[in-house]
Each structure stands twice: as structure tokens, then as C-alpha cells.
Amino acid sequence: MLTTQLIITTDLDALALKAAELFKTAARTHVDGRGRFAAALSGGSTPRAMHRLLARPPLLAEVPWEQTHLFWVDERCLPASDPESNLGSAWRDLLQHLPLPRENLHYVRGDFPPEEAIEEYQLELISFFQPAPGEFPVFDLIFLGVGRDGHTASLFPDSFALREEHRMVAAVKGGTPNVHRVTLTLPVLNRARQIVFLVAGREKAETVKALLEGDRPDLPAAQVKPAGGELIWLLDQEAAALLEKA
């Protein structure tokens, strides 16, 4: 049964701290319970403050990194050296500081042609999660952002990828920058045990209102409903500014 929670913080720094604590708690819970923790990170600017908090004390020492596996929700088809690469940003803010075994990093090959990158990433997902035929990976935690157009991951409005029901990964083109991208599909997102949307800034307030209080099931972020999991909307006050019930 889907449970939804709304958490509003004073500002982006408080949002980042709350998100990092959610990550730590989930990591400890799943490592204690099943010996490993599988999380997927989003790109964009919002998660970066959280990444930087996880990369330094005290949180750096409080996460069981040896048993933590990091994946990406989506990636721009760019080399990691490109400033717009999600892997590149995560490396600078987080990964280079972590005692994370190399084999625990499961990233999209942004340097491959898109069709090769999705095949390779899908093999990586299958190898790690070992889903039954026709089934999908089950992530313990997925962080998602939201664009002003209501996109999430690299699932953009009216995109064919929103209708994907069988593949775990899709190749699309769009967004800012408008480049080829590789993205997890809704069947994967909606099997997560926990999804946390991280949304900050007044420029997102209209979109947040449409998603949480409007009737916009057409928007990609509105289609993220982890049926058997927990959905947390983690907003700063600015992004929550237009919510009636906040």
C-alpha cells in the first residue's frame, strides 16, 4: 500500500540535511536487514547539497558504505568530464570522498552511444537485482527531482518513455541541456521501497501545487506511485509556498 508523506523544511540546507538523514537511515535499515542497500541518485542541482553532506563528517562515518550500492536514476549522454554529467557532478561532490568499493558504483556509460548505454545499464541492473523474467529491480531508495514542466528522472511530458511498460531503461532526448539521456522507466521507479522527491525553490511552487493539489495525472512526476512503498515529498518552504494545506 502506498503511503505518502509531506515534509517541509525552512530552506535548501535543511532539506539537504533531512535528505541525507533519510539516506543514512535507509542504508542502515537495509544493511542490517538484508546485508545490502541499493539507492538511485538523481542529477540536477537540488541533490548536490545532500551529496556534499554525505561526503563529510559526521554522516560520512555513519553510512555503511561497504554494503551500499549506488545507481543513477538518469544520465545525460555526455562524458563524466562534462560539467553537465550527473556522474561527474556526483564524483566531485560525493563519490571521490567515499570508502565505496568500485564494484558498488553502477553508473550509466554516458560516453557510450545511447542505445549501447541503455543495453549496458539494463545488464547492470539485471546482474545486481536478478529480477525474475518480466519483473523489475526493486530499489530500497530512489531520490527524484522535479522540473518546472513536471518531468522527473528524464521522463518528460508527452514522452514515449512514459508509456514504457516492459523495459527498465529508456533512451530519450530533451531537458536542459537538450541532449540524449538514459533514464529508468516508471515500472522501475514504481517498484521502489521508498521514493523521496527533493524539490526546492520558488520557481517550482506552481509545479508542486499542480502535482500535490491540482488534477494533473498527466505530469510525469504525478505518475510516480510506488505501489508497495513509501513516497516522501521533501520540499523547502519556497517550493511549498502555494500549497493550501501546508
∠ CA 234-237-239 to the nearest 5 degrees? 70
CA 55 from centre of chain: 17
Query: What is residue 83's DSSP assignment?
Result: T
Q: Counting beta carbons within 10 angstroms of the beta carbon of residue 176, is it exposed (0 to 12), middle (13 to 18) or buried (19 or more)?
A: exposed
Is 63 or 221 the residue whose CB approaches ligand 6PG more closely?
221
Binding residues for ligand 6PG, rule: CB under 6 A, are 42-46, 73-74, 86, 145-147, 151-154, 175
**Closest distance between ligand 6PG and the C-beta of residue 160, in Å?**
17
Helix (H, G, I), strand (E, B) or coil at 165: coil
C-alpha cell at 76: 545525460
**Closest distance between ligand 6PG and the C-beta of residue 58, in Å?**
25
Is 64 or 242 the residue whose CB approaches ligand 6PG more closely?
242
**Closest distance between ligand 6PG and the C-beta of residue 42, in Å?**
4
Is 67 or 238 the residue whose CB approaches ligand 6PG more closely?
238
**Closest distance between ligand 6PG and the C-beta of residue 153, in Å?**
5
Nearest residue to ligand 6PG by CB is 145
Is 31 or 125 the residue whose CB approaches ligand 6PG more closely?
125
Cis peptide before 58 (omega within 30 of 0): yes
CA distances from 76 to 72, 172, 233 (A): 11, 10, 24
**Closest distance between ligand 6PG and the C-beta of residue 76, in Å?**
6
C-alpha cell at 137: 529491480
Is 31 or 180 the residue whose CB approaches ligand 6PG more closely?
180
